[in-house]
Amino acid sequence: MWTGSVALSRLMCLSRTEFFSGGFPMKLKTLLVSMMASVTLVAGAAHAAELSIVSGDTGNGLEFLRGQLDKFEAATGHTVTIVPMPSSTTDQFGQYKLWLAAGNTDIDVYQTDVIWAPQLADQFLDLSEAAKDVVGDHFPSIIESQTVNGKLVALPAFTDAPALYYRKDLLEKYGKSVPTTWAELEATAKEIMDAERAAGNPEMWGFLFQGNAYEGLTCNALEWVKSFGGGQIVEPDGTISINNEQAAAAIDMVAGWVGTISPEGNLAYMEEESRGVWQLGNAVFHRNWPYAYSLGNGSDSPIAGKFDVAPLPAGEGPDARSAATLGGWNVAVSKYSPDPDAAIELALYLSSAEVQKERALMQSNLPTIEALYDDADIAAGQPIIPNWKEIFQNAVPRPSAPTQAKYNEVSSLFWSAVHDTLSGNGTAAENLEILEADLEDLKGDAW
């Protein structure tokens, strides 16, 4: 049964036309046809499972997922129900922790954020054996991030590293270049925003980001801090580094933008709220993940063709650099699933090259399979993807590996300190000092 499942999901990596067209040598075709026959027999013998998968997908992600699941259902005879979730990763995590702690048997497959593996490892099945023929296709660092004490907790669906979205029409109109430092961004944002407002668009803003008190703010603020050479909150060796001058300078800089180049309401924005304002045409610059690229170029988007992407700007100081936080989503199988074999088949399918290519083309999500960065269709359809290979490879991980099961609390203390500062509730230096003490308490003798 098991070999059949793996062979089936491998076969599903070929589209019908690819398989039956002249692309494959005859011998290989004969071999695959005979494999397919045995797979059909095995699949036919297995019972049709009823699976459930959770999805907090943003944009048109739910529709995309449904389309992929329809193909899986047709190929396997299983049925899959989507359980829709809020798009906030923080809200999802809270719910999944409760469900898993209660041994919930209703959800078979979870879509998991890259930071969750160490915290939820005990609740998911080890996928090492099932995925042994395909793990080598993925970037090793991503597989490593999903491996906890030798257990492969989840299979990668896509990786994430943010971009600076900018309105190329507006930069051209005002003779400005794409900013490479935050100081340049601030000056250009202000100049264009003021001019556009004076010209009759009172809704125009300079820069939008994710400022709500949740995991997304941790991602944004880590980028500001790291871009100023202020470290990674907790370093890979477990040292708490956040209480430093560079980190404080970075956060104070952004506090100065709230109510000037960024709306006050930005402190309540998550990804979709900031994308909404940006995509209406009401911002010069926007920080978001690659999924906003295909949506921004959609046929119903007022800014289609008017924007482009660049790496996020660098800060100030001797260690200044452009910094992008590493994100990404994976697929994990609950150890409480009543149908683990079918659920594993689904996880393999959703992380397969076939689905990742579709995701890249339709959702502009970054693949985790290295070969797809050389795919001509992807490069032509979503040029951000090959251009983002280097950016995601240099992206900064959040400290989920060193802080293990305590990461969620670390992150929530960090985003609260930042949110307080952005809201005018204390300076960055004051809030980072308190944060450091709280993190020391949380750490105790060791993480």
Point out which residues bind ligand GLC (CB under 6 A): 89, 113-114, 160, 215-216, 219, 271, 289, 327-329
Pairing status of strand 163-167 against strand 307-310: antiparallel
Smallest gap from residue 212 Cβ to ligand GLC (A): 9
- Which positions ≥6 away from 355 have C-beta within 8 Å? 68, 157, 349
Question: CA torsion sign, 348 to 349 to 353 to 358?
Answer: negative
Cβ at position 89, least distance to ligand GLC in Å? 4
How far apart (Å, rounded) are the C-alpha atoms in residues 10 and 134? 9
Q: Which residue number, 329 or 388, has a Cβ lying nearer to ligand GLC?
A: 329
Integer Cα distance of 418 and 431 in angstroms: 8
Tell me the residue nearest to ligand GLC as measured from the CB: 327
Least Cβ distance, residue 347 to ligand GLC (angstroms)? 18
With contact defined as beta carbons under 8 Å apart, do 116 and 122 qualify? no
d(CA 309, CA 169): 13
Residue 427 per-residue DSSP state:
-
Q: How far is the CB of 220 from ligand GLC (least distance, A)?
A: 9
Decide whether 205 or 329 has the Cβ nearer to ligand GLC. 329
Q: Name the DSSP class of 370.
A: G
Those residues with Cβ within 8 angstroms of residue 189's Cβ, 6 or more apart along the chain or in another chain: 206, 207, 261, 284, 285
Query: How far apart, in whole angstroms, are the C-alpha atoms of residue 439 and residue 447?
Result: 10
Contact 73, 80 (CB under 8 A): yes
Closest C-alpha among 396, 33, 61 to residue 227: 396
Shortest reach from residue 365's CB to ligand GLC, in Å: 9
Please tell me whether residue 259 adopts helix, strand or coil conformation.
Answer: coil
Q: Give least dist CB 170 to ligand GLC, A.
A: 26
Tokens of 206: 């300079």
Closest contact distance (angstroms) between CB of 274 and ligand GLC is: 11
3-state secondary structure of 105: coil
Q: How far is the CB of 417 from ligand GLC (least distance, A)?
A: 17
The pairing of strands 327-333 and 109-113 is: antiparallel
Q: Which is nearer to ligand GLC, 193 or 213 (CB)?
A: 213
Say how far apart CA 315 and CA 72 lie, in whole Å: 46
Distance of CA 371 to the CA centre of its chain: 19
101 to 98, 175, 385: CA distances (angstroms): 5, 56, 37
Query: In this complex, which beta carbon is closest to ligand GLC, that of residue 322 or of residue 330?
Result: 330
Alpha-carbon gap, residue 291 to 329, rounded angstroms = 12
Q: Smaller CB distance to ligand GLC: residue 91 or 316?
A: 91
Least distance to ligand GLC, CB of residue 433, Å: 26
Min dist CB 317 to ligand GLC, Å, is: 26
Phi and psi for 355 in degrees, rounded to 5?
-70, -40
Closest approach of ligand GLC to the CB of residue 113, in Å: 5
- Sign of the alpha-carbon dihedral angle for 176, 202, 298, 266: positive
Tokens for 374, please give them: 């050389």
| Nearer Cβ to ligand GLC (160/223) | 160
Tokens of 300: 């119903």
